[in-house]
Structure 1
Amino acid sequence: MRRGSFQEGTVDYAAVGATQAADLMGYPPEKSIPAEASWRIGSGEARFTTSADTLLSWAPLRGAGLRVSDVRPASGPMYSGVSFDAEGAPVAPSRLEADQRFDADGTPYVGAGTTIRVHGRVKGLRADAQLRVISVTEEPRRVGYALGTVDGSVVSGEESFAVDWRDNDEVWFTVRAFDRPVAAVYRLLPPLVRRRRRELFQGYLRAVSPLFASPS
């Protein structure tokens, strides 16, 4: 099992780890709009392993039409920071010694403390941002991570991705998020935040679910 997380104070919002809270949808961080969705994407160990690898190689973001660049892993072989339990409550700091992995293009996989830039548009509106991986979980039946905004985004907040291989052998993909509008258009028209989030969720699903895989 591998768990890692990045320290608070490195992102542009206060509620670090709130996507892990069970009551996110009912009690989101102040002035934020919460969202969550889960999809059954298959069953069995092979599906879980493949989906977990897809998740850790930034595929969800690319599936949403975003270009990932300037991937900068946290410096040093060891990383320590705040962690969260299953209910989203902070626990004692932990340390993680991560073996760096790379995708076919040489891009580093997701790792705690990694900073990335994304570029693109969602529903015609700019979606450029700098993001940081604030936590990573790699367990025998669960893999996931959370991304927090650092600067330059039209919204401020966090989103988490997880693939679970459940006891009934089903594999599920879950995304949870909260967004506080930053750009003027989103502050003036809050429904656009929800529309943006729905579009992102569908893009993430396209990347992870075999139902959307391109024919060979």
Structure 2
Amino acid sequence: MPPSDYTYDDVGATRHGGFCPPGFHLLHVRTRVGEGEKVFRRASEAVMSWEMHRELGVGIDAGADRAAPDVDVTVTLAGMIKAPCRVVYTVEEPRRTGWAYGTLTGHPECGEERFVVDRTGDGTVWLTVSAFSRPAKWYARAGGPATRGLQGVYARRCGRVLQRLCAPLSEG
């Protein structure tokens, strides 16, 4: 994984939550998905297998069926904007599952984004989408605050899609 492939320096920094390099914008969106072990397992599988992203309606062209370190992924937005990324790390623990990808040359943004499902002590299942980014292409820069707003909308949609995928399994 040559560092020169990435469009930013702090590769892997989302692992430590809340980190934001100077000149980047921080995003943190947490959505309650449901409750219970079955919901946790279903949400984890949907995140790790790209299902959540596909259900969002974005194109996913991945080098593997599941997220794993060094897997290249190209996300296609609106059928025409290609966003090449690489999975930087994965997390697979008894109560926490997810991954992060970093932007590669050609991505409209520059930075890192992570998608983590966790099950808290009371059994509640959450999706947390966090990122640091800044525009890399002219059209992302031209969008200014609207571009950042769209990132927030995307992160909230991830949560709603995961809620829908897990709803049949919710306990209580």
Judge same fold: TM > 0.5, yes or no: yes
- Matched residues in 2 for 1:112 and 1:211: separation? 25
1:119 aligns with 2:76: yes
1:181 aligns with 2:138: no
CA 1:177–1:55 in structure 2 vs 1: closer, same or farther (change >3 Å)? Answer: same
Instruction: Report the TM-score when normalising by structure 2.
Output: 0.86
- Matched residues in 2 for 1:186 and 1:34: separation? 16
- Matched residues in 2 for 1:168 and 1:191: separation? 37
Structure 2 unmatched runs, 5+? none
Instruction: Report the TM-score when normalising by structure 1.
Output: 0.70
**How is 1:74-85 mapped onto 2 (pairs within 5 angstroms)?**
none
1:62 aligns with 2:54: yes
Q: Note the C-alpha offset of 1:17.
A: 1.8
What is the number of residues matched between the two proteins?
A: 168
| Residues 177-186 or 138-147, more deviating | 177-186
For 2:107, the equivalent position in structure 1 comes to: 153
For 2:12, the equivalent position in structure 1 comes to: 17
For 2:124, the equivalent position in structure 1 comes to: 170
- Give the SS at the match of 1:153: coil
Tell me if the contact between 2:29 and 2:129 (Cα under 8 Å) persists in the aligned partners. yes
- Matched residues in 2 for 1:12 and 1:112: separation? 17
Larger relative helix fraction: 2
CA 1:187–1:128 in structure 2 vs 1: closer, same or farther (change >3 Å)? Answer: same
Q: Note the C-alpha offset of 1:143.
A: 0.3
Structure 1 unmatched runs, 5+? 1-5, 74-107
Q: Note the C-alpha offset of 1:180.
A: 1.1
Rg larger for: 1
Identity of matched residues, %:
29
CA 1:150–1:110 in structure 2 vs 1: closer, same or farther (change >3 Å)? Answer: same
Which of 141, 161, 166 is the matching residue for 1:207? 161
- Give the SS at the match of 2:18: coil
CA-atom RMSD in angstroms:
2.3
